[in-house]
Structure formats: C-alpha cells, structure tokens
Amino acid sequence: MKIVVLAGSPNKNGSSNTLANAFIQGAKEAGHSVDVIDAAHANIHPCTGCIRCGYEGTCVQKDDVDGIRARILAADMMVFVTPLYYYGMSAQLKTLVDRFCAFNSSIQRKHMKSAMIAAAWNADGWTFEALESHYKTLVRYLNFKDMGMIWGKGCGTPAMTQGSRYVQAAYELGKNLK
C-alpha cells in the first residue's frame, strides 16, 4: 500500500513526529511504501475561498500544493500527524487540509484509508475530543476508511513521548496495516 503522511509539526524533532516515525517504521517493515509531506515547512498558502478551482480543478495559487496534490492522489492511505495546538490540529496542517477544496472529489472517489496521530502535553481525558471530532468529520466527508487514531496524551516533550506507550502504539498501527 502507498501511504502518504501529512506531517504538521513545525518542530521537526518534536513529539508528534516521534510518533510518526514509529508509525513509518512499522509500516515500512510491513512492506508498505511511505511518502512524508512536511506540511509545516512546505510553501502552502491559505485557501482564499475564491472557488476558481470549481472545487475540482487547478488552484490559482502557485505554491507547493500542486505537487502535494499529485502525491496525495497517488496514495492509498493518508495519515494526519499533528501536535495538539489549542485543541485542534496545527495551523500548518490545517492550511493544507483547507486546500483539499480544489480536489475534494478526487480524494472522495479514491475511498482511501486514513489514520490520525497527535501528541499533546495535556493528559486529561477530554484532551483530544475536538480534534477527534474534526478527524471523524474528515473521514466521513472524504469517504475515508479509518484505520486508527493515536492520541499521545502527556507527550509534551520528545523525552516524555519516548517514555510513553504511544510510540509502540504508533509502531503497531503501521505494522498491522492491511
């Protein structure tokens, strides 16, 4: 299976990318190919809502999204990776997701698999409720088949994350994909 990982952390060595790397290792060991899109460091402009794309066409903005679009549409699975910032995905990842506007139908027709991996300092039971709701809405709207969610509670630093059970959970998610 071809997997595209949308990495949304501005901190390349942070907790969410630590979890993503464990997932990637497991997925590769299981024989899957993995393409990582660093949404946090790519040249991605916010959607202006101009709708000149017609919801399924070329965006008028000239940035990295055309190339990202091709990579996403070549994949069988999309994995969203983000630190939890004020109870939602990072602005960097959200900016890319908003740009799906220009190729929603193409994504919907693929019936891709998906997963969500997130890390947060907070460890309260309700920490990921808003992000989980947002992710489940994306799954429903884009006709994804959810393969799993890793909610790294109490993963405020890479050291905290490395010592958590979530690294192994992310690895297992990748390793057990069918």
- Per-residue pLDDT of 114-144, as tens digits, reads 999 999 999 999 999 999 999 999 999 999 9
Mean pLDDT value of segment 158-177: 97
Q: What pLDDT sits at residue 15?
A: 98
**Structural domains of the chain, count:** 1
Continuous segment of H or E residues that includes residue 104: helix 104-110
For position 121, what pLDDT does the model report? 96
| Contact indicator for 92, 10 with CB cutoff of 8 Å | yes
Q: Among residues 145, 131, 31, which one has the least CA distance to residue 81?
A: 131
Average pLDDT over residues 10-34: 97
Give the pLDDT confidence score for residue 14 in this predicted structure: 96
The conformation of residue 46, written as its DSSP 8-state character, comes to P
Q: What is the pLDDT of residues 62-71, one digit of tens each?
A: 999 999 999 9
Q: Is the pTM of this model over 0.95?
A: yes
Q: pLDDT tens-digit profile of 82-118?
A: 999 999 999 999 999 999 999 999 999 999 999 999 9
CATH number for the domain harbouring residue 58: 3.40.50.360
Buried b (16+ CB within 10 A) or exposed e, 24-39: bbbbeeeebebebbbb
Q: What is the pLDDT of residue 7?
A: 98
Cα 74 from Cα 117, distance rounded (Å): 21
Distance CA 110, CA 119 (A): 28
Smallest CA-to-CA distance from 48 within 8, 110, 98 is with 98
Question: 114 and 62 in contact (C-beta within 8 Å)?
Answer: no
Show the beta-strand stretches assigned E in 58-133: 77-83, 113-119
User: Which structural domain range is residue 38 located in?
Assistant: 2-175
The answer for residues whose C-beta is within 8 angstroms of residue 121's C-beta and 6 or more apart is 84, 154, 155, 156
What is the average per-residue pLDDT within 50-56? 91
